[in-house]
Amino acid sequence: MANQKIKHRLAKDKLMLWTICIFATLTAVPLFAILGEVLLRGYSQLSWSFFTEPTPTAYKAMKAIEAGEPIPGGIANGIVGTMIILSMAVVVAVPVGILCGTFLAENRKKRFAKIVSYLTDLVQGIPSVIIGIITYIWIVVPMKGYSAIAGSVALCIMMLPLIIRSTEETLKILPASLKEAGLALGGNKARVMMKVQLPAAFGGIFTGVLLAISRVIGETAPLMFTALGCSFIRWSINKPISAVPLLIWEFFNDPHLQELIWGASLFLLIFVLTLNLTAKYLAKKWNQ
């Protein structure tokens, strides 16, 4: 009788296990389906010129299609634009985010810190299209024109909460003994933070920064209101500029350029996945 009961329980256990495994596999299906689709459609467009030449005009593309040749040109203008917008956003968001996260981790019980922490969560929840339109009002209108600067402001706002959170969380999980040991040696709070706590938290913070970048690099809506787009490679920061996600949207709207969609998507997807995997790898390495 007792034996029967145990068998029953073991069977239930197995059933549970299988159910969980099946559902876990199901969640991975969309990822591989998307990857497969984009790879299949996109890989044939990838070539050296795809990364070094700017977008072709619709006329050139039309001629190429009529002649039965592959569409000339590529997404270099988008890659350059994305890099410019992103690096400006990172240069501002990383120091500000880390300082703010440090403040939140060190002053958990202060009312002000609680309010800031709450607001950070709210900012994270703001739809990106709204951040785009707000940046348009704040930056594009006063500057009298679309620009890379405006684009980077929008992305910076989106990155900040992620960097603040990861800094705060990483600092919070450091053992208290680390900070106490530093202070017990006579260091002041700032020195202990700079020499002991932040270095110890570096892995987590860096992972957070990478994830923040991968989160915003594909953002399209805020850039439509701010960077606008540009059909040639441009290095100035106060003029309209292109970005890879903007190009995908442009290609979609132009019947002659649609073939370029998949190459651009593949590039963006691989870039984001690489960032994510690097972040995961670093986080794992750091925890050892």
Partner 1 sequence: MESIIPILEFKKTCVSYTKQTMAVKYVSAAIERNTITAIMGPSGCGKSTLLRAVNLMHNLYSNIRVDGEILLNGENILLMEPIDVRRRVGMVFQRPAPFPTMSIYDNVLAGFALNGIHLSKSKKDEIVESNLKNVVLWDEVKDVLNKKGTFLSGGQQQRLCIARALAMKPDILLMDEPTSALDPIATKRIEELLLELQKKVTILVVTHNMGQAKRISSRSMFMYLGELVEYGDTETMFSNPEHERTKAYLIGKIG
Phi, psi of 256 (to 5 degrees): -80, -20
Stretch that binds partner 1, among 90-98, 187-195, 209-217, 242-250 (CB under 8 A): 187-195
Residues with Cβ within 8 Å of residue 198, at least 6 apart in sequence: 98, 102, 171, 205
Contact between 177 and partner 1 by CB under 8 A: the answer reads: yes
Give the residue with the Cβ less far from partner 1, 185 or 277. 185
Contact between 202 and partner 1 by CB under 8 A: the answer reads: yes
137-150 exposure pattern, b = at least 16 Cβ within 10 A, e = fewer:
eebbeeeeebbbbb
Least gap, CB of 116 to partner 1 (angstroms):
19
Contact between 121 and partner 1 by CB under 8 A: the answer reads: no
Contact between 13 and partner 1 by CB under 8 A: the answer reads: no
Contact between 178 and partner 1 by CB under 8 A: the answer reads: yes
User: How many whole angstroms separate alpha carbon 118 and alpha carbon 111?
Assistant: 11
Which of 121, 216, 234 has its CA nearest to residue 159?
Answer: 216
Contact between 199 and partner 1 by CB under 8 A: the answer reads: yes
Least gap, CB of 173 to partner 1 (angstroms):
13
Contact pick of 30, 125, 142, 175 for partner 1 (by CB under 8 A)? 175
Helix axes 111-125, 76-106, angle to 10 degrees: 160
Contact between 200 and partner 1 by CB under 8 A: the answer reads: yes
Residue in the structure block whose two tokens are 């739809």: 127
Residue in the structure block whose two tokens are 């002000």: 112
Stretch that binds partner 1, among 54-62, 156-164, 177-185, 228-236 (CB under 8 A): 177-185
Least gap, CB of 188 to partner 1 (angstroms):
5
Contact pick of 27, 188, 253, 287 for partner 1 (by CB under 8 A)? 188
Please check whether residue 213 is in contact with residue 272, taking contact to mean a CB–CB distance below 8 angstroms.
Answer: no
Please check whether residue 212 is in contact with residue 159, taking contact to mean a CB–CB distance below 8 angstroms.
Answer: yes
Q: Which residues bind partner 1 (CB under 8 A)?
A: 109, 175, 177-178, 180-188, 191-192, 195-196, 199-200, 202
